[in-house]
Each structure stands twice: as structure tokens, then as C-alpha cells.
């Protein structure tokens, strides 16, 4: 039997801004259906790492390889920009912290989801409406909102709409940057429950960046702790959080225990 191959491999990734080394020699594998949480204080390099993986930021050195739907291993430094963009529309998804960055606010909720389907070649209007209604239902938005502008939605609804927009093309890998940041605590809890069931039911592979230990405890199978651009601790989420070895992780965990 062949061992399971990683979906994504990051090797010795480095990224600096001037003299600030935001990502310092980062290496890891992400396996299919796995949720990898990345935690760390503000400025530890989490968002830079996510953007570098997504190809939004150029990296200085290092290698990112991805096993595509056809089972081909792609070196991200070698693929064309247009193919990278195509992958981002089809096999990958990016859920931004601020849903306004991930949505188009001047077109309807239905069009926000539908245009992603059109991007991948779906042309039948009836089929698009049907898919839009399905994905709105998946993220607990009543389909009567389909023809409304997202600007009229609450923050929690906008975030759920962004998630529906990402999921409609059935991506295999989702990058999430603080998906529950900026939301009220009760809205956060509902969104987390929703994300947890979507991740399980759709067997998604996810890289989840957050500063919130509660979020990773609920969603992530594995956890990295970042400090000053480096991974200082990694392991199974419960193991890392229940028995932190690095003083920085101990500090992060104990800070969340203070009521
Ligand atoms: N565009 C930029 N230009 C210069 N320095 C930057 C830029 N973006 C990030 N940095 C610096 O790189 C380091 C890592 O920042 P990054 O945003 O990746 O951290 P983070 O852990 O995601 O923080 P946050 O949780 O606040 O988003 C920080 O020292 C930050 O000041």
C-alpha cells in the first residue's frame, strides 16, 4: 500500500520585509482532510506565511509543492501565474478575516457565489441558481437573501457568504486568516460550529491562522506555534495545548486561562 502523500509541502520558506524576517525557514507537510492551526501573537509571521503559500507574496527562498486533483505534484515556483490563479479559483480557497476583502459588495449575494461557478465554466442559469441556493443553505443563509447586496448583511452573515463563495467550486485546500476575528462572541461560536461541520463533511484540508487558542482547539488537528517568524512548537493540537513545552506556548496557553 502506498503511504498517503501530503497535499501541500512547504520546505525552508523564508520571507523578509527589509530587516524583519517575517518567516524564518518554515517547513511542514499538510495531509488530505487535515486542519492545521497556526497560532502566535500579532507580528509573529502567521499572515505572511499564509500569503506566501497563496502566492500573494513572493518568497525569497524555499519550495512549495502541491498535489493537484489529477495527482500531479506541482512546484509553485515553476507554474505560471495564470495557472496559479486558476488553482486559486478551483482547487484552493482563501477565507479572509474581513469578509469585505473576500466578497464583491456591489453585486448580489447570489452573484457573489454564482460568478465563481461561471469562472469554472458553468453557464446554465437554472443550475447556477440551484447551486447558489444549496450553498446559501449550507452556510445557514435563507435563500430569500440571494438577490440582496452583501452590504445589507450582518458581519456574521457576510463571513458565511464569503465561505459559501469559496466552497461552491469544491476546493480541496482552504486557507483561512482569522475567520472569526472581528465578530461578536455569540456569532463567533455559531460560525465555528458551522466551520467544524463543513470541514468534517466535505473532508477539507485547511490551514487556519488565528491568535485565538479556542478556535484552534475546536478546529485544528495539528498545531504550529509561531514566534518571530519561526515555528517554536508543533504537534497534535490537544498535546500542544494541554502540555506545552516551549515557554512561549506556555505563556500563550496560560494567557487564555485567565478569565
Ligand atoms: N507589508 C509589510 N511591510 C513591512 N513589514 C511587514 C509587512 N507586513 C508584515 N510586516 C512585519 O512582518 C512581521 C510579521 O507580520 P505578520 O502580519 O505576518 O504577522 P501576524 O502574526 O500575521 O500578525 P497579525 O496577527 O497582527 O496579523 C511583523 O513584524 C510585521 O510588522
pLDDT in tens, 79-108: 998 998 888 888 999 998 899 999 999 999
Q: Is the CB of 227 under 6 A from ligand 1?
A: no
The residue to which cell 448580489 is assigned: 108
Q: Which domains does the chain have, with CATH numbers?
A: 17-91+172-259 (3.40.50.300), 105-170 (no CATH)
Q: What angle do CA 73, 231, 258 make, to 5 degrees?
A: 130
What separation in Å is there between the alpha carbon of 126 and the centre of ligand 1?
44
Q: Is the CB of 22 under 6 A from ligand 1?
A: yes
Q: Is the CB of 82 under 6 A from ligand 1?
A: no
Ligand 1 atom at minimal distance to the Cα of residue 211: 25
What separation in Å is there between the alpha carbon of 50 and the centre of ligand 1?
11
pLDDT tens column, 197-213: 888 888 899 999 998 89
**Percent of the chain at pLDDT exceeding 70:** 98
Q: What is the 8-class DSSP label of residue 5? A: P
Look up the ipTM and state it: 0.96
CB 194 within 8 A of CB 160: yes
Q: What is the 8-class DSSP label of residue 6? A: P
**Integer Cα distance of 128 and 117 in angstroms:** 7
pLDDT tens column, 236-246: 999 999 999 99
What separation in Å is there between the alpha carbon of 248 and the centre of ligand 1?
18
CB 103 within 8 A of CB 158: yes
**Integer Cα distance of 67 and 159 in angstroms:** 28
pLDDT tens column, 170-198: 899 999 999 888 778 888 888 888 888 88
Q: Does residue 2 have a pLDDT over 60?
A: no
Q: Is the CB of 43 under 6 A from ligand 1?
A: yes
Q: Is the CB of 211 under 6 A from ligand 1?
A: yes
Q: E strands, 101-217, where?
A: 173-177, 205-209
Q: Is the CB of 17 under 6 A from ligand 1?
A: yes
Amino acid at each position: 500500500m502506498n503511504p498517503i502523500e501530503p497535499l501541500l509541502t512547504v520546505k525552508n520558506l523564508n520571507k523578509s520585509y527589509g530587516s524583519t524576517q517575517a518567516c524564518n525557514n518554515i517547513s511542514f507537510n499538510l495531509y488530505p482532510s487535515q486542519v492545521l492551526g497556526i497560532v502566535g501573537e500579532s507580528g509573529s509571521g502567521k499572515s505572511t506565511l499564509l500569503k506566501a503559500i497563496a502566492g500573494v507574496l513572493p518568497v525569497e527562498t524555499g519550495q512549495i509543492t502541491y498535489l493537484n486533483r489529477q495527482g500531479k505534484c506541482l512546484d509553485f515556483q515553476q507554474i505560471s501565474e495564470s495557472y496559479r490563479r486558476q488553482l486559486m479559483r478551483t482547487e484552493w480557497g482563501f477565507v479572509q478575516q474581513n469578509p469585505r476583502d473576500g466578497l464583491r459588495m456591489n453585486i448580489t449575494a447570489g452573484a457573489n457565489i454564482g460568478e465563481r461557478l461561471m469562472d469554472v465554466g458553468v453557464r446554465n442559469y437554472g443550475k447556477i441558481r440551484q447551486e447558489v441556493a444549496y450553498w446559501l443553505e449550507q452556510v445557514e443563509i435563507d435563500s430569500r437573501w440571494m438577490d440582496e447586496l452583501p452590504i445589507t448583511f450582518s458581519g456574521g452573515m457576510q463571513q458565511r457568504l464569503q465561505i459559501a463563495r469559496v466552497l461552491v467550486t469544491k476546493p480541496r485546500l482552504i486557507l483561512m486568516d482569522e475567520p472569526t476575528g472581528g465578530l461578536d462572541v455569540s456569532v463567533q461560536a455559531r460560525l465555528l460550529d458551522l466551520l467544524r461541520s463543513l470541514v468534517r463533511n466535505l473532508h477539507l484540508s485547511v490551514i487556519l491562522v488565528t491568535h485565538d487558542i479556542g478556535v484552534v482547539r475546536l478546529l485544528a488537528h495539528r498545531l504550529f506555534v509561531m514566534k518571530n517568524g519561526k515555528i517554536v512548537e508543533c504537534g497534535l493540537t490537544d498535546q500542544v495545548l494541554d502540555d506545552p513545552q516551549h515557554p512561549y506556548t506556555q505563556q500563550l496557553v496560560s494567557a487564555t486561562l485567565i478569565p
